[in-house]
Amino acid sequence: MDVTWARISFTFLIIISFFLVVWVACGKQSKQRYSDIARQIVDDDDSVATDVPKSHPDATEQKQ
């Protein structure tokens, strides 16, 4: 078997693997999961902690 056939086989294996990953990532279940995660990020309460310890670097920035 020539080295060229091994290279061609490896290339096709990589291409098929790539399309398999894309198919799994873009499938209906994955889209729903990504949509749910994105919705959680948007709907997250962005409240800021009010009790910052005095030793924390942000404590000095808040006083200025």
Q: Is residue 35 part of a domain?
A: no
Q: How confident is the model at residue 35 (pLDDT cuts 50, 70, 90)?
A: confident
Structure confidence at residue 53 as a pLDDT band (50, 70, 90): low
Number of domains the chain is built from: 1
> Is 49 inside any structural domain?
no
Judged on CB neighbours under 10 Å (0-12, 13-18, 19+), 52 is middle
Confirm whether 59 is domain-assigned: no
20 phi and psi angles, rounded to 5 deg? -65, -45
Residue 43 located in a structural domain = no
Tell me the average pLDDT across 16-22. 95
- 8: domain range? 1-27
| Confidence tier at 56 by pLDDT (50, 70, 90) | low
Residue 62 inside a domain? The answer is no
Q: What is the pTM of this model?
A: 0.48
Q: Which two tokens stand for residue 1?
A: 């078997």
Asked if residue 9 is part of any domain, the answer here is: yes
